[in-house]
Structures are given as C-alpha cells and as structure tokens.
Structure 1
Amino acid sequence: MGKKKFGIMGNGYLAGIIVDGYLSGILDEYELVGVMGRTPDKTAAIAGRGGCKACGTVEELLALKPDVVAEAASVQCIRDNAEKILSSGVDLIVLSIGAFADKALYDKIKETATEHDTKVHIASGAVGGFDVLRTVSLMGQAKSGICTRKGPASLKNTPLYDDALMTEEGEKQVFKGNAKEAISILPTKVNVAVAASLATTGPEDTSVDIFSVPGMIGDDHKITAEIDGVKAVVDIYSSTSAIAGWSVVAVLRNLVSPIVF
C-alpha cells in the first residue's frame, strides 16, 4: 500500500509547523504533495521547504489528488473551500474551528461530507480533551463552560479592549455570556469557544467567561463539562500558537495509526 497524499491550505507560521512535522519523519506514511496560499512568494517558500508544489487555488491543490487536506489558514478559507474539497472525495482537517460558529455553514459542510462519504476532522488547536468532554456530555444533561484568562494586549482591536486594562492591578472580567454571544462579539478569536461548545452542549448552552490578566503572556483555557457524579476539567496554558500546528500533525498521525488515541 502506497503512502497517503496530503496537502496544506495556508502558508504562514502554522502551515510551517505542519511542514516541520512532516520533515521530522513522524509522518512517514504520508507524501506532502502541495501547499496552497494567496501570496505566491510565501507559498513558494514553504512548498520549497516541503519539497512539494506551490498552488494558488484549491483547484490546483485538488489536481494533485490528495487523500486529505489540512487547513491552517483562516475561517474564510474554510468558507471558500471546504465544500469543494469534500465534494471531490477528499477529507479535510480543520484548524480554524471558528468557521463552524456559522450554523448554516456547519450544516452545509456536514451535509456535503455525508453526501460524498468524506470526513471533517477537527484539530484540537490550542486546547484538547475533546474526547472526555464529549463523553461526559453524552452521559446526561451536562453543564459546560469555558473560562479564559489572557493578557490585555491580546484583546486589542476587539470590543472587549479598554486602555484602562493595561494599567489594572488585578485581573478583570471582560466578558460573561455563552459561546454564541462570544462568537458574535469576537468572530475571529473564538476557535476555542466554538470547539468547546461543539464537543459539549452547543453554543447557546456553553458558558464563556473571559478575564484580562495584567502582564500575562499567552492564554489559559479551562473547559468544564459536568453531570451528576461526573466532572471533567481540561486546563491548558500556552504561550505559543505552535501547539495548534502540532495538533494538525497529531490528527494526521491518528488517521493512519492502527491504534487511535
């Protein structure tokens, strides 16, 4: 049996992490056939590192006959290309989970995958523990929530930011609501909230609390799913987005492993 072919959508830092994983030898069952990006120079550079073809469109990437495409680009990339990929008989790994905050898009992608016998694999990104959170939620009427702590600078250019946050002496709560409300306020910064809600009780029933912490670097996400007699807590801190890229590598490994974690 030959190697499985895969392609990458994206030519930035996270796409580079996936290429690094490929070059490290831990994806020996795969052949990287193409990288797709909107910026020709950047795309050519990362494709050159990976020893594959640089593509400017999803049609070029699909012409290389990949078995799976890993997205490390943006929510808009999912909106523009997910249906084309799935309807071509190709599986898709999604890192920009925030795209699924759009229920109509989510339902359409699910329908397309069902129709063409393809699958969408959700990468854990900067969080994880989806298996135990989902298990608890299946056991009964669960309560779920996510509490995020981050530095005030990371809130700039969002409705939650205020200059006063930069001089606060203690942590301050800047948002309290559910995942659906968080999505409406922070449409490009809610991958974690969307992922947690999809794995548990849904956007309307997953509570979200966000705190600004002076001097904090990185993000700390504490996700909880609870029923009577069972409580699961996943708490992950990261000062780098590299973990998101490596989570795609982990999905690729699981797809070909005889033992799946």
Structure 2
Amino acid sequence: MRVGLIGAGTIGTYLLDELSRKKDQDIRITSVFVRNLEKYQYLEERYDVELYTSVDEFLDSSIDVVVEAANVQAAKEVLPDVVSEKETVLISIGALAEETFLNEITEIIKAKNHRIHLPSGAIGGLDLIENVTEAGVIETVSLVTRKPAHTLLSEPTDETKVVFEGNAAEAIKQFPKNINVSIALALAGVGLRQTKVTLLADPNLDKNIHSIQVSGDFGTASFEIKNNPFPSNKNTSYLAAVSVLGTLKKMTKKINIG
C-alpha cells in the first residue's frame, strides 16, 4: 500500500521512520505534501519520497491512501479535495467538529464511495462505544481529561482546577489543541452535544490522563489512559502516533479485530 503523507511534524516523522525501517512490509510512504519545500528537502533523500507543494499534483502521484498529519486548519483546507480522490486517514479529528463541515465531507465520501479512517489517538475503547451505539443500547458517555496545569493555565497553581465543563462541541471550540480526543469519542458514540467533557488542570501531573465512562442497556464500561508524551515532543501523545501506525496496518490485514 503506497501512502501519501500530509505534514512532516512529530507524527509524520514517526511514520516515515517506522515505515522506512521495515522494508519488508506492505506499507510504504512514497509522497509527502508540505508547504515549505526548502525546509523539508532533506526528506527526499533520507526516506526516498517525493515532495509536493501542490495538492493536485500530490493526489495525482502514485498513492493508494492519504494520511493527514498536519493540523486542524490545514486539514480543513485540503480535506474536501483529498477525500474526493483517495481513502484517507485523518489525524486532526478536530476538523470534523463543525457539523456543516462534517456533513460536507460525509456527502463527498458517500458520492465517491471512499472511506475516512479515524485513529483512536490518545484514548481507547472506541470499538466498544461504536458497537453499543450502533446497537442502540448506549445512554451516556463522559470524558474527564486531566492535564499538567502549566499546559492549560497562564499562572502557577497549587490545586487542581476545573478549566472546562460542558459538551464536546463546546470543548473543542474553547480548547482546539487540548481536547481533540473528545471528537473521536463523540463520533464513535452519542454525538458532540451529548458527550460530556470535563477538563482539569492538575499541578501534580507530568502526563495527560483520560478517563472515559460509558453506560447503557449493555451495562457500564470505564477506561483510563495515562499517556506518556512523545520522546521528542512533549505536546504529542506517544499513543496518538502509535494509533496511526496501527490504523494503517489494519488496512492491509485480512483479519480485523474489534
């Protein structure tokens, strides 16, 4: 499977490293779309890829699937064109937080018979939530995210503070860089307005902790994920990067679990 990559930040570089290291597998990044050709010129020789600054030329290259690894704004700019042409793995899930844009993208992929794959990112349990939602036996979904206080507050604090309490739609508007996981959770489950979100600033933490509670006719489920940061970038979850690689590998498997 030939992959086209949008963006070459922490997760994009992780994918380039991992997939170039394992030459025998069926997944290879062959094309990379970037804004600044000069800045990323070194990628061509290091990873044997072709760089593009034109979306059209990038999509016309010999690729089977596109992985978006940029940011929400960049994703919103290119996503309509990308999903029109290719199957897509979307990392910046916050791009789908606006209902009108989500509907637009949904209409395109239906018309083109394409799919968008949303990695689980920094959380887990989405397969269970999606299953009970599809069966109509889910009632409530809530997310409590605890983050190191200095990442959310401008001034030091000695106690845990509630930074936000509301639904996922409101959360992503106020904290577009801090609560992306709530969008994946909402899309798998009861929706943006019904998914309850609490964001806490904790001075005693050095990592993010996501606690998920689900209830319904099926019973109850609880998940807690303590995320180690990516070694080279403390603002990125290591699990988020791993989940993208896992999503790509699932796309090549004949037996899928979950």
Cα offset, 1:133, TM superposition: 1.4
CA distance in structure 1 between the partners assigned to 2:223 and 2:44 by the alignment: 35
SS of equivalent residue, structure 2 residue 200: strand
Matches within 5 A, 1:59-208: 59-88=56-85, 90-138=86-134, 139-155=136-152, 161-163=153-155, 166-168=156-158, 170-208=159-197
- Answering whether residue 3 of structure 2 is matched by residue 6 of structure 1, we say yes
- Partners of 1:190 and 1:52 in 2: how far apart? 32
Deviation at 1:39, TM superposition (A): 2.2
Structure 1 residue aligned with 2:223, among 222, 231, 234?
234
Determine which of 242, 246, 253 is the counterpart of 2:249. Answer: 253
Which structure's residues are more often helix, by fraction? Answer: 1
Confirm or deny that 1:225 pairs with 2:222: no
Q: Label 1:131 to 1:224 Cα distance change in 2 as closer, same or farther (>3 A).
A: same
Please give the secondary structure, in 1, of the residue aligned with 2:192: coil
CA–CA distance in 2 between the matches of 1:127 and 1:27?
29
Decide whether aligned partners of structure 1 residues 229 and 199 sit closer, same or farther in structure 2, where only a CA change above 3 A counts.
closer
Q: Does the residue aligned with 2:41 lie in a helix, a strand or coil?
A: helix
- Give % identity: 28
Shift of 1:229: 4.9
Aligned to 2:47: 50
Gaps (5+ residues) in structure 2? Answer: 230-236
> After alignment, is 203-212 or 41-50 more displaced?
41-50
TM-score of the superposition, structure 1-length normalised?
Answer: 0.89
Matching residue within 14, 19, 37 for 1:17: 14
Between 239-248 and 200-209, report the one with greater CA deviation.
239-248
User: Which runs of 5 or more structure 1 residues have no equivalent in the other structure?
Assistant: 156-160
The AA in structure 2 aligned to 1:150 is K
Q: Take 1:73 and 1:162, find their aligned partners in 2: how far apart are those partners?
A: 26
**Deviation, structure 1 residue 67:** 0.8
More off after superposition, 219-228 vs 35-44: 35-44
1:53-102, CA deviations, whole angstroms, 9 ceiling, x for partnerless residues?
111122221121311000110111221111111222x1010000001111
String of CA shifts for 1:126-169, please: whole Å, max 9, x gaps: 112210111233342410010000111111xxxxx352xx232x
Q: 1:27 to 1:173 in 2, by over 3 A?
A: farther
In the alignment, the residues of structure 1 paired with residue 92 and residue 223 of structure 2 have an alpha-carbon distance, to the nearest angstrom, of 20
Would the aligned equivalents of 2:138 and 2:214 in 1 still touch at CA under 8 Å?
no
Q: 1:189 Cα shift?
A: 2.7
Shift in Å, 1:42: 3.6
Partner Cα distance (1:78, 1:85) in 2? 9
DSSP-derived class of the 1:258 partner: coil
Distance 1:58 1:212 in 2: 39
Q: Which position in structure 2 is the counterpart of 1:158? A: none
Q: CA RMSD in A?
A: 1.7
> Residue 3 of structure 2 contacts residue 28 of structure 2 at CA under 8 Å; is this kept in 1?
yes
**Is the Cα–Cα contact under 8 Å of residues 91 and 119 in structure 1 kept in the other structure?**
yes
Q: Which amino acid aligns with 1:200?
A: G
1:32 matched to which residue of 2?
Answer: 29
**Cα 1:204–1:68 shift into 2, 3 Å:** same
For 2:157, the aligned partner's letter is: T
Partner Cα separation in structure 1 for residue 23 and residue 225 of structure 2: 24
Q: Cα–Cα, structure 1 residues 41 and 181, in superposed 2: closer, same or farther, change >3 Å?
A: same
Measure the CA separation in 2 of the matches of 1:64 and 1:10.
16
CA contact (8 A) 1:19 1:49 kept: no
